[in-house]
Amino acid sequence: MSRYYANRNFAIGSTIVLLLLVMMIISLFWTPYDPNMIHDNHILESPTREFLLGTDYLGRDILSRVMYASQTVFIIGGGTLIISSIIGVSIGLISGYFGGWLDEILMRFVDAWMTIPGTIMVIVFVASFGRGMTQTLIAISLTGFANFAKITRSKVLSLKESDHVLWARSVGVKRGRILVAHILPDIMPTLLVVGALRFSSAILTEAALSYLGLGIQPPDASWGNILTRAQAYILSNWLYAFIPGLLITLMVIGFNLISDGLNKIYSEEGAY
């Protein structure tokens, strides 16, 4: 691990993400108050010792809601990353390794898919399938897989002719096994670099979508949907709007730095 921490970008990025992860884990077991509990006598209060970030328009503790919302971020980021990389990498592996008409069809499809602008696709998707966690997760995953497919395919094309793959083929290793055991591990570094970036763009998309009222729906909390209300009440408590946005920014910076760092580490090691 020390080779990773020698890289400044990776070290800073992973520290930020780790801290936010700790906050998320704490929120699973403990928040100052129940995030959905309504304190009738404390509506729109400014920060006090009792409510460190104040209370929202229904009298809920903002700090508790902000902590609770960090769970959403990891679910959306991690979930979309898993779904879109599984779909994308499978398409890329098949397309690159088998080539021919299969490759032609798959890549035409991926190219056409990529021309639909992501934001528009996500908005239309939630407009037809409804709003909520699952829909948001699927919609964002659908915009991400094409990228994975393209990158995997181009890596497979060059790896297909490499010595260890040719060797495996010549001694009769089965195709499926070559793909999974001989080609996939070599693509991993690239996938990690791209994956960290996908994580941060998924977070930004979710926040924007939830802010517009099309993503995560209350009482589920997301930093994006907290901001919708916070904007209306910003004059009474600016921290209400400031903190969620700051956390989104930190999370995105964290993953971007991890991606940058990994990229540098792997390219210096010649892992690409």
Partner 1 sequence: MYYLKRTLTAFATIFFVTVFLFLLLQVVPGDPVLSRIGMDEMEFNPRLVEQLTREFELDKPIIERYTNWIFRVVKGDLGNSFNYSNYTVNELIAQRITTTVLLAFLSLILVIIIGIPLGILLAKTEDTLGGDLLNAFSQIGLALPNFWVAIIALWLFGSVLGWFPIRGRIDFNNLALTIRSLILPVVTLSIGGIASVARYLKTSLIEEKEKDYVIVAKSKGVADSTIMKKHVFRNSLIPVTTVIGLLFISLMTGSIIIENVFSLSGLGSLLITSINANDYPVIQGVVLYYSIIVVLTTLLLDVLYVMIDPRIKLGKRRD
Return the half-sphere exposure (C-beta side, CA atoms, 13 A cut-off) of residue 236. 12
Binding of residue 256 to partner 1 (CB under 8 A): yes
Binding of residue 87 to partner 1 (CB under 8 A): no
Binding of residue 112 to partner 1 (CB under 8 A): yes
- A 10 A CB-CB count for 203 gives 27
Choose between 189 and 215: whose C-beta lies nearer to partner 1. 215
Per CB under 8 A, which region of 32-40, 122-130, 165-173, 180-188 contacts partner 1? Answer: 122-130
Are 233 and 220 a contacting pair, CB within 8 Å?
A: no
* Least distance (Å) between residue 131 CB and partner 1: 10
Choose between 39 and 229: whose C-beta lies nearer to partner 1. 229
Query: Which distant-in-sequence residues (6+ apart) come within 8 Å of 123 by Cβ?
Result: 209, 212, 214
Per CB under 8 A, which region of 38-46, 80-88, 187-195, 224-232 contacts partner 1? Answer: 224-232
Please identify which residue in 5, 129, 167, 272 interacts with partner 1, judged by CB under 8 A.
129
Binding of residue 238 to partner 1 (CB under 8 A): yes
Binding of residue 227 to partner 1 (CB under 8 A): yes
Per CB under 8 A, which region of 31-39, 52-60, 177-185, 245-253 contacts partner 1? Answer: 245-253
Please identify which residue in 74, 98, 242, 266 interacts with partner 1, judged by CB under 8 A.
242
Please identify which residue in 212, 219, 268, 272 interacts with partner 1, judged by CB under 8 A.
212
Binding of residue 120 to partner 1 (CB under 8 A): yes
* Six token digits for residue 244: 């969620």
Are 63 and 253 a contacting pair, CB within 8 Å?
A: no
Choose between 22 and 124: whose C-beta lies nearer to partner 1. 124
Q: What is the largest CA-CA distance in the chain?
A: 76
* Six token digits for residue 259: 């991606």
Binding of residue 125 to partner 1 (CB under 8 A): yes
Return the half-sphere exposure (C-beta side, CA atoms, 13 A cut-off) of residue 122. 29
Binding of residue 119 to partner 1 (CB under 8 A): yes
Q: x/- binding map, residues 142-181, to partner 1, per CB under 8 A?
A: --------x--xx--x------------------------
DSSP string, 75-105: HHHHHHHHHHHHHHHHHHHHHHHH-HHHHHH
Binding of residue 6 to partner 1 (CB under 8 A): no
CB under 8 A, 24+ apart: contacts of 95-104: 95/149, 95/153, 95/156, 96/152, 96/153, 96/154, 96/155, 96/156, 96/157, 96/160, 97/156, 97/160, 97/175, 97/178, 97/179, 97/183, 103/153
